[in-house]
Structure 1
Amino acid sequence: MTKAIPNSTKAPLEDHEVALCQRVLHRLSEKEAMDAGDLDDLACLVLHLYQDGVRSEAALEYLLTPVPKLA
Structure 2
Amino acid sequence: MTRKPDARWAFAHHLPKARRGYPLVNAPIPDLSAVIARHDGFVRDAFGVLNMGGTVIRGAGARIARRWAAGKKPVVLTNGA
TM-score interval for Structure 1 and Structure 2 normalised by the shorter chain: under 0.3
Name the structure where strand makes up a greater proportion of residues.
2
Decide which structure has the larger Cα Rg and report it: 2
Name the structure where helix makes up a greater proportion of residues.
1
TM-score of the superposed pair, with normalisation by structure 2: 0.24
